[in-house]
Amino acid sequence: MADTAPVPNSGLEPRVARLETDVAEIKATLNRLAPRIDEMYSFLTAKLPELATRAEVADLRTELKSEIAGLRAEVKSEIAELRIDILQRPTRRQTVLDIFAIVGLIGAVLTIAARLAH
């Protein structure tokens, strides 16, 4: 014979109570989050038209690359001009040699003038 006696509810009521508490907490959390979600949605819908599209970002990237390339070429030409300018300037050694040459020339002229004066 099969046993048809009712099975006692061993701990079913505490589980249901705990489940109801958890559901109440979830509802409270959702109620707190709903206004925040609405704020975020409003912000996004207001700012979305101002955001750049992929095409605009790609165009900007291309424009920046060409500007950078132009600046590089400009800087390279200016550096080349500066190198030429630096190479054309006299060095310290050359300046010192020029001063000695001038002093020697003045000394030679004074020596010749002194001999001619006597």
Residue in this structure with the two tokens 């979830």, named with its chain if needed: 26
Task: Provide the residue range defining the domain that includes 33.
Answer: 14-51
Q: Report yes or no on 111 lying in a domain.
A: no
Burial annotation 58-72 (CB, 10 A radius, 16+ → b, else e): eeeeeeeeeeeeeee
Q: Is the alpha carbon torsion for 26, 28, 31, 33 positive or negative?
A: negative
Domains held by the chain: number? 1
Over residues 49-75, mean pLDDT = 94
pLDDT > 70 in the chain, percent:
92
pLDDT of residue 18: 92
- At residue 91 the predicted structure's pLDDT band, cuts being 50, 70 and 90, is confident
Q: Report yes or no on 60 lying in a domain.
A: no
Q: Report yes or no on 61 lying in a domain.
A: no
Q: Report yes or no on 116 lying in a domain.
A: no
- At residue 1 the predicted structure's pLDDT band, cuts being 50, 70 and 90, is very low
- At residue 4 the predicted structure's pLDDT band, cuts being 50, 70 and 90, is low
Interacting residues of 60 by C-beta distance below 8 A, sequence separation 6+: 52
Q: Is the pLDDT of residue 8 over 60?
A: no
Q: Report yes or no on 47 lying in a domain.
A: yes
pLDDT of residue 90: 84
Q: Report yes or no on 19 lying in a domain.
A: yes
Q: Report yes or no on 87 lying in a domain.
A: no
pTM: 0.42
Structure confidence by residue, pLDDT tens digits, 27-36: 999 999 999 9
Q: Report yes or no on 36 lying in a domain.
A: yes
